[in-house]
């Protein structure tokens, strides 16, 4: 599909910074998006969450940008901005009126090259409090909010880079020193460990000149590597039961899968869609619609550079035996493995995925981030068509294969029941 064929230019500065330029001139906007190849997977036990805390610190000013001014400059220019941290990477992004491109480059280069001179204890203590509150608000104080943490700490083997949550454990958040923060910067925030995407309305020559001007003097440093981790299987089923302040019981079933963009990756995504991606998906039809034993049900995969997991979760309706829900989930899985999927449900899933690809082209910042995403995992920013093709070429046989290959293995089960 032509729409999904993105015309871009990619090159590397002398200091190793990757640059990707993509012009799109329908609006006077420009998106600037930087991925640093560091996420919580690069952390060590005892200092979990530091990649995310560090992301916060990057907004606390740099040598030429006073604290609080980073946000102010961009907002005053009519821009929007944010950042996020995941297992594998940290991204920083802003979208501004196109005539403010230079402002964004100035700010991004300043914190890439001149972060350390103005790092201080007051900033760290402040953001430690903010991040502690973020953890409380988004996880500890949410119903079922700690489920994910419980799952990954028990599913992944000890020392697996995904065996702790990106937000970090509270006692670790309390423990970071200034040295930890500056050391983290030195270990990972080299231009050679980053990729800068500029997307939108700009003139190529001018943009290149500005990028050279602001980024080329930043020195490359050696970055720490994290060892890759082999795929693993569970030796036996794991069962965890927790009682929490919730009204309804919830069941989580989780299987280890494979790395992102590996051979089975797209098939597993479609498997999730067919099982519980919509109201007409198998598990929804059976458990929510027909039997009315579950209030809601989800099935999806998360995968990254170091591995993946397939998760099914269901909230049990009041006065229903959770065992019934669990056995129905397995019945549906077994039926899929016995009889395979239908042509129709596969087509339904593919049509949905195709539309979502096109809808996602509406946002300049989403596109800039996707260019970085493809480049990060595949070293090729223009992967939209190929990516869609991964999904549209999934076959009934391929689906059956991955269902057999992964869902018949041992799994982890987490139950969260109401405290009585």
Partner 1 sequence: MIKLKRISAPKPQKISPFSLPKIEELQITNINKIIYVQKKNLPIVRFSYVLELGSRFDPADKKGLANLFGMVLDEGAGRLNALELKEKFQMLGTNFSINTSKDSVSFSFLSLKENFSKSLYLINLILTKPNFSEKDFEREKSKILTSHQQIQDSADYIADISFDSLIFENNSYAFPTIGIKDHLTKLSLQDIKVYYKNIFKKAIPYLIIVGDLEKENLARAVQTKFGPIRQYNSIKKMDKISGQKKTQIYFVNKKGSVQSGIRIGHINNKRNEKDFYSKTLLNTIFGGQFSSRLNLNLREKKGYTYGIHSSFDNYKDASVFNISTSVSSENTANAIGEIIGEMEKIRKGVTKEELSFAKSSISKRFPSNFETYGQIASNISSIIKHNLPNNYFNDYLKKINKVTLNEVKNTAVKNIHPKKSIILVVGDKEKILTQLEKLKLGKITEVGIFGDKL
In the bound state with partner 1, the residue whose beta carbon lies nearer, of 293 and 312, is 293
DSSP 62: B
Task: Tell me the pairing of strands 29-36 and 80-85.
Answer: unpaired
| Nearest of 369, 358, 363 to residue 2 by alpha carbon | 358
In the bound state with partner 1, the residue whose beta carbon lies nearer, of 228 and 342, is 342
Minimum CB–partner distance for residue 237 and partner 1 (Å): 28
Task: Tell me the pairing of strands 250-256 and 90-97.
Answer: unpaired
Minimum CB–partner distance for residue 76 and partner 1 (Å): 5
Minimum CB–partner distance for residue 305 and partner 1 (Å): 28
Minimum CB–partner distance for residue 213 and partner 1 (Å): 5
**Tokens at 390, concatenated:** 């991964």
Give the burial class of 324: count Cβ atoms within 10 A of its Cβ; 0-12 exposed, 13-18 middle, 19 or more buried. middle
In the bound state with partner 1, the residue whose beta carbon lies nearer, of 41 and 211, is 211
Beta bridge partners, 298, equal 313
Q: Is 245 helix (H, G, I), strand (E, B) or coil?
A: coil
Minimum CB–partner distance for residue 153 and partner 1 (Å): 19
- Please answer whether residues 161 and 224 qualify as being in contact, where contact means their C-beta atoms are separated by less than 8 angstroms: no
Minimum CB–partner distance for residue 227 and partner 1 (Å): 33
| Nearest of 43, 33, 130 to residue 83 by alpha carbon | 33
In the bound state with partner 1, the residue whose beta carbon lies nearer, of 29 and 260, is 29
What residues have CB less than 8 Å from 261, skipping those under 6 apart? 377, 378
In the bound state with partner 1, the residue whose beta carbon lies nearer, of 155 and 353, is 353
Dihedral sign from CA coordinates of 364, 368, 374, 380: positive
In the bound state with partner 1, the residue whose beta carbon lies nearer, of 54 and 73, is 73
In the bound state with partner 1, the residue whose beta carbon lies nearer, of 280 and 409, is 280
Minimum CB–partner distance for residue 408 and partner 1 (Å): 28
Cα→Cα distances 172→61, 125, 330, Å: 24, 14, 38
In the bound state with partner 1, the residue whose beta carbon lies nearer, of 56 and 411, is 56
Minimum CB–partner distance for residue 52 and partner 1 (Å): 12
- Please answer whether residues 10 and 19 qualify as being in contact, where contact means their C-beta atoms are separated by less than 8 angstroms: yes
- 40/34 Cα distance (integer angstroms): 17
- 244/231 Cα distance (integer angstroms): 32
């Amino acid at each position: 599909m032509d729409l999904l064929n993105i015309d871009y230019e990619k090159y590397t500065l002398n200091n190793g910074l990757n640059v990707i330029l993509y012009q799109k001139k329908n609006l006077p906007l420009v998106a600037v998006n930087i991925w640093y190849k560091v996420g919580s997977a690069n952390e060590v036990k005892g200092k979990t969450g530091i990649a995310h805390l560090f992301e916060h610190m990057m907004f606390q000013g740099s040598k030429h940008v006073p604290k609080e001014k980073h946000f102010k400059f961009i907002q005053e220019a009519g821009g929007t901005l944010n950042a996020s941290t995941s297992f594998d990477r940290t991204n920083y992004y802003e979208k501004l009126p196109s005539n403010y491109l230079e402002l964004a480059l100035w700010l991004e280069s300043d914190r890439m090259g001149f972060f350390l001179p103005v790092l201080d204890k007051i900033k760290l203590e402040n953001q430690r409090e903010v991040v502690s509150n973020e953890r409380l608000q988004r996880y500890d104080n949410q119903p079922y909010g700690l489920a994910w943490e419980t799952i990954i700490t028990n599913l992944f083997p000890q020392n697996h880079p995904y065996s702790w949550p990106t937000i970090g454990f509270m006692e670790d958040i309390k423990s970071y020193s200034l040295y930890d923060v500056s050391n983290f910067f030195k270990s990972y925030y080299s231009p050679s460990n980053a990729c800068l995407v500029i997307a939108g309305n700009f003139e190529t020559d001018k943009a290149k000149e500005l990028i050279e001007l602001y980024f080329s003097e930043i020195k490359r440093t050696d970055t720490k590597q994290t060892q890759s981790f082999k795929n693993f299987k569970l030796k036996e089923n794991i069962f965890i039961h927790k009682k929490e302040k919730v009204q309804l019981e919830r069941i989580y079933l989780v299987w280890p899968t494979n790395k992102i963009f590996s051979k089975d990756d797209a098939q597993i995504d479609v498997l999730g869609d067919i099982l519980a991606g919509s109201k007409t998906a198998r598990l929804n039809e059976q458990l929510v619609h027909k039997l009315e034993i579950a209030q809601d049900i989800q099935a999806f995969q998360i995968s990254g550079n170091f591995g993946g997991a397939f998760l099914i979760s269901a909230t049990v309706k009041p006065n229903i035996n959770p065992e019934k829900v669990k056995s129905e989930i397995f019945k549906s899985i077994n039926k899929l493995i016995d009889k395979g999927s239908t042509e129709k449900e596969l087509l339904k899933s593919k049509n949905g995925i195709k539309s979502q690809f096109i809808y996602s082209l509406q946002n300049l910042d989403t596109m800039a981030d996707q260019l970085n995403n493809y480049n990060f995992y595949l070293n090729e920013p223009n992967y939209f068509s190929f990516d869609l093709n991964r999904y549209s070429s999934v076959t009934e046989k391929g689906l059956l294969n991955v269902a057999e290959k992964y869902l018949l293995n041992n799994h982890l089960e987490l139950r969260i029941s109401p405290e009585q």
